[in-house]
Amino acid sequence: MNRQQATEAILTATLWIPYVVCQVMSNGFLAPANYVDPAPRPFSTIGQTTNLAEYLTVVAAGAAALWRYVLLPKDATQLS
Protein backbone atom coordinates (compact mmCIF):
# COMPACT_ATOMS: atom_id res chain seq x y z
CA MET A 1 0.00 0.00 0.00
CA ASN A 2 1.49 3.29 -1.00
CA ARG A 3 1.19 6.62 0.77
CA GLN A 4 -1.72 7.88 -1.33
CA GLN A 5 -3.79 4.76 -0.67
CA ALA A 6 -3.05 4.96 3.05
CA THR A 7 -4.09 8.62 3.13
CA GLU A 8 -7.29 7.82 1.24
CA ALA A 9 -8.10 4.98 3.66
CA ILE A 10 -7.58 7.26 6.67
CA LEU A 11 -9.77 10.02 5.19
CA THR A 12 -12.49 7.52 4.32
CA ALA A 13 -12.42 6.11 7.85
CA THR A 14 -12.69 9.60 9.35
CA LEU A 15 -15.87 10.13 7.35
CA TRP A 16 -17.50 6.73 7.89
CA ILE A 17 -16.75 5.98 11.53
CA PRO A 18 -18.83 8.89 12.92
CA TYR A 19 -21.65 8.00 10.51
CA VAL A 20 -21.73 4.36 11.68
CA VAL A 21 -21.56 5.41 15.34
CA CYS A 22 -24.48 7.81 14.90
CA GLN A 23 -26.52 5.14 13.10
CA VAL A 24 -25.92 2.67 15.93
CA MET A 25 -26.80 5.31 18.52
CA SER A 26 -30.08 6.16 16.81
CA ASN A 27 -31.15 2.73 15.49
CA GLY A 28 -29.37 0.29 17.81
CA PHE A 29 -27.09 -2.57 16.81
CA LEU A 30 -27.98 -4.69 13.81
CA ALA A 31 -30.33 -7.57 14.45
CA PRO A 32 -31.82 -10.19 12.12
CA ALA A 33 -35.08 -8.22 12.05
CA ASN A 34 -33.19 -5.36 10.35
CA TYR A 35 -32.48 -7.56 7.34
CA VAL A 36 -36.11 -8.31 6.47
CA ASP A 37 -36.92 -7.09 2.97
CA PRO A 38 -39.65 -4.44 3.16
CA ALA A 39 -42.71 -4.59 0.95
CA PRO A 40 -41.94 -3.42 -2.58
CA ARG A 41 -42.76 0.21 -3.14
CA PRO A 42 -44.25 1.43 -6.44
CA PHE A 43 -42.26 3.66 -8.75
CA SER A 44 -42.95 7.34 -8.44
CA THR A 45 -44.02 9.24 -11.54
CA ILE A 46 -40.52 10.61 -12.03
CA GLY A 47 -39.12 7.11 -11.60
CA GLN A 48 -41.42 5.74 -14.28
CA THR A 49 -40.49 8.59 -16.61
CA THR A 50 -36.79 8.02 -16.02
CA ASN A 51 -37.17 4.28 -16.54
CA LEU A 52 -38.97 4.88 -19.85
CA ALA A 53 -36.36 7.42 -20.96
CA GLU A 54 -33.53 4.95 -20.25
CA TYR A 55 -35.36 2.21 -22.15
CA LEU A 56 -35.97 4.46 -25.16
CA THR A 57 -32.32 5.57 -25.15
CA VAL A 58 -31.16 1.96 -25.28
CA VAL A 59 -33.60 1.18 -28.10
CA ALA A 60 -32.47 4.23 -30.09
CA ALA A 61 -28.79 3.41 -29.58
CA GLY A 62 -29.41 -0.17 -30.66
CA ALA A 63 -31.25 0.97 -33.78
CA ALA A 64 -28.43 3.39 -34.64
CA ALA A 65 -25.82 0.67 -34.16
CA LEU A 66 -27.83 -1.75 -36.30
CA TRP A 67 -28.15 0.82 -39.06
CA ARG A 68 -24.49 1.84 -38.91
CA TYR A 69 -22.82 -1.55 -38.68
CA VAL A 70 -25.26 -3.95 -40.37
CA LEU A 71 -27.54 -2.18 -42.81
CA LEU A 72 -25.25 0.59 -44.10
CA PRO A 73 -23.26 -0.53 -47.14
CA LYS A 74 -19.55 -0.89 -46.53
CA ASP A 75 -18.71 1.68 -49.25
CA ALA A 76 -20.84 4.32 -47.55
CA THR A 77 -18.81 4.08 -44.35
CA GLN A 78 -15.68 5.42 -46.04
CA LEU A 79 -15.27 9.18 -45.73
CA SER A 80 -13.84 10.80 -48.81
Cβ atoms of 2 and 9 within 8 Å: the answer is: no
At residue 34, the pLDDT reads 66
Domain residues for 50? 43-73
Question: What is the reported pTM?
Answer: 0.38
Is residue 37 a part of any domain in this protein?
A: no
From residue 69, how far is each of 55, 62, 63 by CA, in Å? Answer: 21, 10, 10
pLDDT digits (tens, 9 = 90+) for 3-46: 989 999 999 999 999 888 888 888 788 777 766 766 777 767 77
Is residue 1 a part of any domain in this protein?
A: yes
Spatial neighbors of 77 by CB under 8 A, at least 6 apart, are 68
Is residue 64 a part of any domain in this protein?
A: yes
pLDDT digits (tens, 9 = 90+) for 35-77: 676 677 776 777 788 888 888 999 999 888 888 888 776 665 5
At residue 41, the pLDDT reads 74
Task: Quote the number of domains for the chain.
Answer: 2
